[in-house]
């Protein structure tokens, strides 16, 4: 297998006629950022906060380079190599005109199969280089001293030029993925996620070719009753993956990974990153102390978090007052806010309530009135309390997926246990949750196979590969947890018409799961297992969480809304079936989400 890994390697030579700043220190990257990166501010804590033009990844402008007749093999859009060549040449000319690249070398994980990776940035991306360097494992963590005397030969390469607008694209952004040559080109985006995910997309293909699967999952080692195991948690943005990963269960919880793990054919798991890329909206020390304390470390990097005039972070900032907009005028206009709208708002000619709907969603052209909820921080692993020794990761014993259910038909039980790898594969393929701010202005259900839009091949391949790998782990717990609501949303909770699944509820459910304290029963509508709220051994869990969260039928029945629940069951089955049919799964997987009682 090592020979197969070596076939992926690039030449050690940088393919551009420029000066390179090779592997600068974090201190040097901060100085480069202050000199070259626009709209970057030093906080009171000593770290740097960048306001970006792009507030999220742009999947619509991500293309796999391949012939059009191969489009059915990939999950992303396809672009012909002839068309891509013009864009890549446009980027090359920009790079050589600028004359400098920042070079970051490292590894996407640990162990003999971890790929060597190289990131190249023009100087206006110095902060992105600093963030990426933190997440990469350095050569000394993977290579022997003898190997480090040789030139670095990457298996993957990513080239990112935030200041180079992509030609022919209205947002002037293009992400081109050349899987044949293991290179990703990012033009026009200043959002760190395009760097991080660009490399992770290639990692997905690499691991799949080697017989494994990359899971979009946080992970932690948990010690319960003297037994140390690893739990992994999958989830889309906003479902609480990072929160759940860093919450405490058992006698000791040691964070392992925030975002991605590799599951290999021998059943082992390896991390992919040496730090944490955390969402910061609503961050509070009381509820998420690890992420909060990490974010205000001087060595953290921050992106799109609101800074108060005194240099402290306001993690809960929502709408901006005219004086806030006036203070941030240059940054907001330079990152895309229409100048005429900004001027009108600052002058008091337009009020916030005139450009926001009843849910606080801004009209087109007025996004600047609402601060993005997709603020992020990059925290090095060594700055995280009780972080695990990543060279001593225990075997994976528990793997679940988070569904942040929200709305009038939010009826997913607090926690569900799957009865087989096949059933788990079906629900993991759904990757179901409610849309969040990172998904744009739309609301309602969203689905993403295995909660990750970074698997470049057709998505249904993940279901069968996962079933094969999980079948080799007979003791693996497979589960789903609702981190959202029962019966409504936040406004309904305030009105007494819904329940919120709180962080303490999630921790109690996971603790009981890991300790094998739960007595389960079959859900008659879906065939998976839910908590038997009448079993005496479940009394402590029912007291901690509430029977209506654990079994939402009770919530609907007690409020005279049973018909709503019945209608939801039938509708959600059909929606799930239709989605999986579009994904191309086989009939055996499909049957797992269309269970009928008594069949």
pLDDT value of position 443: 52
Residues near 51 by beta carbon (within 8 Å), at least 6 away in sequence: 39, 40, 41, 304, 328, 331, 332, 335
**Which of the residue ranges 298-307, 497-506, 586-595 would you say has the lowest mean pLDDT?**
586-595
Q: Tell whether the model's pLDDT for residue 556 goes beyond 60.
A: yes
SS3 564: helix
In angstroms, the Cα distances linking 83 to 58, 88, 90, 306 are 19, 9, 11, 39
User: Taking residues 101-127, what's their average pLDDT?
Assistant: 97
Q: Tell whether the model's pLDDT for residue 596 goes beyond 60.
A: no
Angle at 13 between CA 8 and CA 15, to 5 degrees: 95
pLDDT value of position 435: 64
> In 267-420, which ranges are E strands?
269-271, 275-279, 301-303, 306-307, 313-314, 376-380, 396-403, 415-417
SS3 232: strand
Nearest to 4 by CA among 216, 265, 392: 265
Supply the CATH classification number for the domain 2-210.
3.40.449.10
Letter string b/e over residues 85-113, b meaning 16 or more CB atoms within 10 A of that residue's CB: eebbebbbeebeebebbbbbbbbbbbbeb
In angstroms, the Cα distances linking 105 to 116, 156, 157 are 8, 10, 9
User: Taking residues 435-451, what's their average pLDDT?
Assistant: 66
The pLDDT-based confidence of 431 (bands split at 50, 70, 90) is very high
Token pair for 184: 């990703």
Do 2-210 and 214-274+390-593 agree at the fold level? no
Beta bridge partners of 187: 161, 174
pLDDT value of position 484: 96
For 225-255, what is each residue's pLDDT tens digit?
889 999 999 999 889 888 899 888 989 999 9
Token pair for 384: 């995280």
Quote the CA–CA distance of 453 and 431 in Å, as a whole number: 10
Q: Where does residue 463 rank: exposed (0-12), middle (13-18), buried (19+ CB within 10 A)?
A: buried
The pLDDT-based confidence of 5 (bands split at 50, 70, 90) is low
Quote the CA–CA distance of 207 and 205 in Å, as a whole number: 6
Supply the CATH classification number for the domain 214-274+390-593.
3.90.228.20
User: Where exactly are the structural domains of the chain?
Assistant: 2-210, 214-274+390-593, 301-376
Nearest to 258 by CA among 238, 273, 239, 280: 273
Tell me phi and psi for residue 70, to 5 degrees.
-100, 5
User: Taking residues 464-492, what's their average pLDDT?
Assistant: 95
The pLDDT-based confidence of 4 (bands split at 50, 70, 90) is low
């Amino acid at each position: 297998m090592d020979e197969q890994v070596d076939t992926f390697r690039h030449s050690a030579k940088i393919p551009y006629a420029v000066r390179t700043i090779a592997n600068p220190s974090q201190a040097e990257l901060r100085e480069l950022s202050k000199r070259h990166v626009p709209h970057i501010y030093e906080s009171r804590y000593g770290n740097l906060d960048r306001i970006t033009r792009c507030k999220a990844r742009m999947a619509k402008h991500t293309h796999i380079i391949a012939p059009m007749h191969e489009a059915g093999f990939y999950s992303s859009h396809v672009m012909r190599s002839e068309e891509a060549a013009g864009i890549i040449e446009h980027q090359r000319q920009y790079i050589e005109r600028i004359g400098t690249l920042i070079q970051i070398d490292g590894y996407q994980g640990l162990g003999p199969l971890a790929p060597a990776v190289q990131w190249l940035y023009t100087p206006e991306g110095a902060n992105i280089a600093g963030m990426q360097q933190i997440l990469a494992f350095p050569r000394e963590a993977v290579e022997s001293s003898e190997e480090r005397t040789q030139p670095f030969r990457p298996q993957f390469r990513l080239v990112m030029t935030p200041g180079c607008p992509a030609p022919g694209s209205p947002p002037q952004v293009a992400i081109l993925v050349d899987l044949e040559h293991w290179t990703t080109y990012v033009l026009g985006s200043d959002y760190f996620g395009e760097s991080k995910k660009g490399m992770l997309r290639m990692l997905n293909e690499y691991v799949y070719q080697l017989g494994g699967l990359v899971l979009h999952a946080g992970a932690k080692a948990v010690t319960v009753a003297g037994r140390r195991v690893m739990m992994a948690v999958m989830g889309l943005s906003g479902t609480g993956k990072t929160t759940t990963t860093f919450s405490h269960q058992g006698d000791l919880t040691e964070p392992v990974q925030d975002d991605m793990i590799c599951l290999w054919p021998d059943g082992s798991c390896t991390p992919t990153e040496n730090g944490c890329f955390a969402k910061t909206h609503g961050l509070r020390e009381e509820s998420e102390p690890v992420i909060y304390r990490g974010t205000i470390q001087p060595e953290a990097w921050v992106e799109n978090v609101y800074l108060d005039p005194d240099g402290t972070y306001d993690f809960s900032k929502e709408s901006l007052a005219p004086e806030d907009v006036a203070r941030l005028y240059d940054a907001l206009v330079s990152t895309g806010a229409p100048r005429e709208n900004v001027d009108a708002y600052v002058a008091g000619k337009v009020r916030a309530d005139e450009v926001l709907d009843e849910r606080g969603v801004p009209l087109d052209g007025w996004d600047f009135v609402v601060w993005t909820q997709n603020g992020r921080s990059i925290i090095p692993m060594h700055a995280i309390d009780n972080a695990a020794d990543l060279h001593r990761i225990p075997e994976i014993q528990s793997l679940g997926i988070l569904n942040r259910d929200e709305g009038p038909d939010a009826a997913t039980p607090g926690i569900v246990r799957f009865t087989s790898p096949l059933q788990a594969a079906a629900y993991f393929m759904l990757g179901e949750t409610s849309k969040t701010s990172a998904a744009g202005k739309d609301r309602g259900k969203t689905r993403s196979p295995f909660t990750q839009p970074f698997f470049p091949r057709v998505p249904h391949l993940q279901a069968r590969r996962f079933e094969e790998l999980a079948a080799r782990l007979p003791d693996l717990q497979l589960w789903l947890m609702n981190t959202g609501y029962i019966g409504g949303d936040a406004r309904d909770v305030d009105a007494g018409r819904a329940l919120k699944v709180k962080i303490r509820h999630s921790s109690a459910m996971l603790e009981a799961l890991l300790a094998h304290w739960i007595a389960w029963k079959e859900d008659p509508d879906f065939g998976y297992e839910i908590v038997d709220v009448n079993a005496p051994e479940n009394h402590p869990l029912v007291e901690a969480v509430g029977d209506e969260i654990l079994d939402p039928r009770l919530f609907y029945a007690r409020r005279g809304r049973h018909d709503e629940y019945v209608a939801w069951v039938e509708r959600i089955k059909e929606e799930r079936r239709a989605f999986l049919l579009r994904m191309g799964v086989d009939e055996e997987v499909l049957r797992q989400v269309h269970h009928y009682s008594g069949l």
